[in-house]
Each structure stands twice: as structure tokens, then as C-alpha cells.
Structure 1
Amino acid sequence: MNTKELTQETKRKMDKAQSVLESELGQMRAGRANASILKPVVVDYYGAQTPLVQVASVSVPEPRMIMVTPYDKTALENIEKGILEADLGLNPMNDGDNIRIQIPQLTEERRQEIAKKAKATGEQSKVAVRNVRRESMDAIKQANKADEINDDEAHQVEDQIQKLTDAAIKGIDQIVKDKQASILND
């Protein structure tokens, strides 16, 4: 067993959990226009379910507005329908050339609700990090039992993995804290 590869793989998986968290939190509405809100939108484009970004450009011309400009004007109605069907709580306005989406001001109650959801998403990421740690620790114990590594080396690698876990959890907490501040203060 190569302990260096194990710790690198563990770190890679933990970093992946953090990047997935950042992606998920980026899609949460925080009262300010953000093009990533429209990531889950798919459009029926000539019979194929196509991601919105492949049929239109998405821009943020004002802090509370998202503008969707289709590459093909015939897809305008399908894009509008796709945004409505995505059930994002957004109301697209079709002006014949573009679709404008006004982002409403969030109520304090809604901000609290979104902040709680962000925290829950962070907790899921922490669980993922802890699962990665558990898998790595199990691999170390099996290698130690099979005499592939000695006890000292096993303890040393376990300490490294615990430090990686602590750093990943701390990073997740900071990401969630930043997102909650953004949600509550925008």
C-alpha cells in the first residue's frame, strides 16, 4: 500500500466535496442576480432536452436582473417555458428578443429559510468528508493488519488524514458562513 497515494486521494475527494458544496450554494438565490441560478434549467430545443447555456447567453446587466439572449430567436418561447418549468420561483418576461428575469427582494423570513438550507447543505458536505476519512482509515487498518505497513507508519498516516479532515471541515464551515452572510445581508 502506498500511503502517499492514499493521502493524496483522500485530499482530492475532500476537495471535491468542497467544490460540490460551492457549486450547490452558488445556485441558491441570495436576493442578487446570479447567472448560476439558471444552471438547472433545460430547454426543449428541437425535441431534445438541452441545458439553457447551450441555447442562450445569460448575463446580469443590473444587480437585480438576469437577461437571457437566445442564439436562435425561435427558441425564445421554449426558453421561457423551460425557466418556468424549472420551478425556481422566477418570473421570466419575454420582450420578443430577450427574456428578462427580475429578481425580487427577499423577505427576512425567506432569507432565514435560505440560510438554514445553506447550513444543511454544508452539513451534507461534512458527512461526505467524514465518509472519505472513514474509508481511508479503514484502508490503513487493513494494510496494517496485512503487515503492508507498520504501526508507526499507520499512526502517522492516520494523523495526516485527520489533519486533512479538520482542514476540510473548517473550509466547509467558512464557505457556509460566507454564503449565510451573503444571504442575510444582501
Structure 2
Amino acid sequence: MSDDIASILKDAEKKMAKSVEVTKEEFTSIRTGRANAAMFQGITVEYYGAPTPLNQLASLQFPEARTVIVTPYDKTATAAVETALRESDLGVNPTNNGDNLRIVLPALTEERRKEYVKLARTKAEDGRVSVRGTRGNAKKALEKLVKDKLVGEDEGVRSEKDLDALTKKYVEQVDQALAAKETELETI
């Protein structure tokens, strides 16, 4: 196998692995019955006129499975943090205790669980599309090598089979992550 083919396949594999990783990260932002720090990842707070990520303004503690205590580092930011949490897509209503905010996550209804499963499936499909897009780009590069007569046709066909095997491997990883997330969402 020529160095060009090896580098194309290696690059494609790296990009496919990154696509799977991003998809798994997306799954962590989908709420399940348990509280976790990833749920608060995308929340920004208007702090002195600048949008600031919540994790830079406050600490998060999880004393119970569905309870979160948010303690702002700067007490003057408590109202802004409370507003950001209320307006987030988490559907929570924090209780202000003066020093910190207490959030009790409501139990997920059957309808809400189904919505989250649909969301997970959408994110998984985005991951699969990304993996297939990487495959398409790598396939074009391999076809160009054959067309420019830098490698033989047999070697080109063999390398495309290797590329298809890689694609299958990473699409299966996305599917496995989706199955795990669906199980997690459907478990009460």
C-alpha cells in the first residue's frame, strides 16, 4: 500500500473518530433522570455585559440524583445566573437561597422521554452523516490517485474496501452510543 493511500485512510479514520466523539458529547447534553454537569455546558450568563459560560461563574454540586446546587463565585451574579437557568432549555425553576441556587429536576414524563429519544436519534444521524461525509472525501482522494495513475486500480479498489470497513466501524460506534443513550433515557 502506498504512503498516499495510508495517509488518506489514516486521516479519514482520525476524522471519523472525531465525529463519533462529538456525537457522544452531544448525547451528554441530553437530560436523563439524573443530574450531570454536561447538562449545564451550553448555558451562558450575561455577566457585566458579556456572555460567559456558567461553569466559569459558578460551581455545581450534585448532592442527590435529581438535585443540583449552583453556587456563584461572585454573589452579585446570582440573579443573572438564576435568569440564565430559568431561560435555558432545561425547563427548571431554581430556588434562590441567598448564597446559592437549588435546582430540583422534575422527573421525566413519558412524553418528554420520547422527545429526548427523538433528539438523540437526530444527533446520532448527524454523527453518521459526518462519518459518511468523511468517507466521501477520502473516496474522492483515492479515486484521484487512481485517475492520476499514482497507484494501480487493484490497489485503489482494495483501499476503497478498507475505507468502507472503517466507515462501517465508526457508524456502528455511533449506533452503539445511541442504543446506550436510548436505554438510559427509557430507564426510570
Name the TM-score class by shorter chain: over 0.9
* Structure-1-length-normalised TM-score: 0.95
Q: Give a deviation string over 1:68-90, Cα, whole Å, max 9, x none.
A: 11111111111111112223211
Identity of aligned residues (%): 38
Aligned partner of 2:13 in structure 1 is 11
Select the residue among 22, 27, 33 that pairs with 1:31. Answer: 33
Query: Which amino acid in the other structure matches residue 108 of structure 1?
Result: E
Q: Which residue of 2 aligns with 1:81?
A: 83
Aligned residues of 1:115 and 1:180 also touching (Cα < 8 A): yes
Give the 5 Å matches for 1:77-156: 77-156=79-158
Q: Give the structure-2-normalised TM-score.
A: 0.94
Q: 1:53 aligns with which of 49, 52, 55?
A: 55
Secondary structure class of the residue paired with 1:115: helix
Alignment of 1:168 onto 2:170: yes
1:140 offset after TM fit, Å? 0.5
Find the aligned partners of 2:10 and 2:103 in 1 and give their Cα distance: 43
Segment of structure 1 superposing worse, 83-92 or 158-167: 83-92
Range moving further from structure 2, 149-158 or 176-185: 149-158
Counterpart contact for 1:43–1:50, Cα < 8 Å: yes
Question: RMSD of aligned C-alpha atoms?
Answer: 1.2
- Equivalent in the alignment of 1:158: 160
SS in 2 for 1:104: coil
Instruction: Point out where structure 2 has 5 or more consecutive residues left out of the alignment.
Output: none
Shift of 1:8: 1.2
Q: What is aligned with 2:187?
A: 185
Which secondary structure state, in structure 2, belongs to the residue aligned with residue 106 of structure 1? coil
Over residues 124-145 of structure 1, what are the superposed CA-to-partner deviations in whole Å (9 max), with x where a residue is unaligned? Answer: 1111111111111111001110
Instruction: Note closer, same or farther for the CA distance 1:87–1:110 as it changes in structure 2 (3 Å cut).
Output: closer
C-alpha offsets along residues 47-106 of structure 1, whole Å, 9 cap, x if unaligned? 211000111111211101111111111111111111122232111111111111111111
Aligned length: 186
Q: How is 1:63-74 mapped onto 2 (pairs within 5 angstroms)?
A: 63-74=65-76
Q: Which runs of 5+ in 1 are unaligned?
A: none
